[in-house]
Amino acid sequence: MTVQAFGTDFSVPTEQVRFGRTAVGRIDSKSILTRTSGFMSQYKFTLNPYGGCGFGCEYCYAKFFAASAHKRETWGEWVTAKTNAGELVAKACRSGVLRGGDPVYMSSVTDPYQPIERRLGLTRAVLEAMLDSDVQPRLTIQTRSPLVTRDVDLFRKFERIRVNLTINTDSDQIRRRYEPWCPSIRVRLNAAEDLAAAGVRIGVSISPMLPLHDTEAFGAILADLKADEYVTQYLKPGRSRLAAGTSAEAIQKAREDGWGIRQYQQARETLANILGRVGPLLEGAEGYAPA
């Protein structure tokens, strides 16, 4: 099967292929839009072009939704590409399942701009399908990848869109400890600056907030972005081994780093004071409102 990627064709065989450390499989998915509830209830749909995530953050709650214990344990080492993602969105637009103004969150259990997106372009295909169908959802995009700047030309055509960048520490040493396969903090900041300069509304997700090196300096850098919103959240331990939340391993690392709820609250108060001249510092679900 051939997938039309951004400017190139990429043939994905039935068996898995390797992309860096990640095994990439493909499926023709039956659906792409998921009705929301709970934390995401402000949205009508979540939209995930991929299953799994090549960034594989150790603390990520999404791995608890993986289909098996093996997939949870190997989170970050596998991705399932929904190769018909664009076609499914186009169909949803034609049928009226997806209507103009519907709030959509992309994505809730994957990063739509994870490394394989550079090759496959499924997220770009989704955006193009919305625009070609002339259906304008209220689209919120959540990512930590600078690849998102590739699609500025499409973002500019949406009436209601916001790109949320996850920038959850000021320290690359900390970033490597908790999310070693993710882009550096500097390139994420650069991406946010580039999007804002292009006239794209941005949000900054300091979530989950990881240990900070210089909270005041970090706050000043974030304030300069003049984002539409800023949101924080603390690491959230799961209520049981299989409950969605921060992994026990990540919680243990935070303890070793002297990072607990008290340290989080102190850092949050400092950031709130600094960011207050730009806008309120939100927390949890209140900071993930539709665009």
Given a cut of 70, whether residue 148 has pLDDT beyond it is yes
Q: Report residue 1's pLDDT band, with 50, 70 and 90 as the boundaries.
A: very low
Q: Do the Cβ atoms of 150 and 177 come closer than 8 Å?
A: no
Greater confidence (243 vs 165) lies with 165
| Percentage with pLDDT > 70 across the chain | 91
177: containing domain: 2-288
Tokens 């907030």, located at residue: 209
Given a cut of 90, whether residue 10 has pLDDT beyond it is no
- Number of structural domains (the chain) is 1
List b or e across 223-244, with b for residues whose CB sees 16 or more CB atoms inside 10 angstroms. Answer: bebebbbbbbbbbbeeeeeeeb
Look up residue 241 and give its DSSP letter.
Answer: T
DSSP codes joined into one string, 132-159: HTT---EEEEEE--GGGGGGHHHHTT-S
- pLDDT number for residue 245: 59
Mean pLDDT across the chain, nearest whole number? 89
CATH of the domain at 268: 3.80.30.10
- pLDDT number for residue 15: 55
Q: Do the Cβ atoms of 87 and 126 come closer than 8 Å?
A: no
Q: Do the Cβ atoms of 157 and 151 come closer than 8 Å?
A: no
Given a cut of 50, whether residue 267 has pLDDT beyond it is yes
What are 154's two structure tokens? Answer: 């499409």
Q: pTM of the predicted model, to two decimals? A: 0.90
Q: Report residue 247's pLDDT band, with 50, 70 and 90 as the boundaries.
A: confident
Q: Do the Cβ atoms of 47 and 105 come closer than 8 Å?
A: yes
- pLDDT number for residue 48: 97
